[in-house]
Amino acid sequence: MEFLTREKRQLAAFLNLFKKLGNHHKVKSIPRRLHKQKQLRRQKKLTTKVAKITKRQQTTATNAKTFTTRTLSKPTTVQDRDAEMLVDNHNEDSAKNKAENEEKFKKIDSSEYYY
């Protein structure tokens, strides 16, 4: 009796195997999944490439900005803040002096005593 049940189980397992092999949808689903993974990998590569390029462009832009103008950043320490204030004051003073000097030169140009 036990022998028959074992044989039935083996036969059922064998039939299940055949069913799985005959099921074409399952066979197709594996390559599709692999294809999707490949697509995702490719897409990820492209996005990282684009991100790297944009980051590089941003760094070059910031570098160019720092060369041409002084970057306005929040001062971290008291010394930095004092230095910023000194620079700002110097810039204001130089602008005032420049304006005063231009006025003086205008006066000299318009005066009769200029030789």
> What is the spatial distance between Cα 59 and Cα 115, in angstroms, rounded to a whole number?
54
> What is the spatial distance between Cα 11 and Cα 17, in angstroms, rounded to a whole number?
10
Per-residue model confidence (pLDDT) at position 65? 60
Q: Is the dihedral of CA 67, 72, 76, 77 positive or negative?
A: positive
Q: Is the dihedral of CA 102, 108, 111, 114 positive or negative?
A: negative
Q: What is the pLDDT of residues 52-103, one digit of tens each?
A: 877 777 777 666 665 555 555 555 666 666 777 777 777 777 777 777 877 7
> What is the spatial distance between Cα 107 and Cα 101, in angstroms, rounded to a whole number?
10
> What is the spatial distance between Cα 114 and Cα 1, in angstroms, rounded to a whole number?
133
Q: Cα dihedral angle (52, 58, 59, 61), rounded to 10 degrees? A: 150
Per-residue model confidence (pLDDT) at position 33? 72
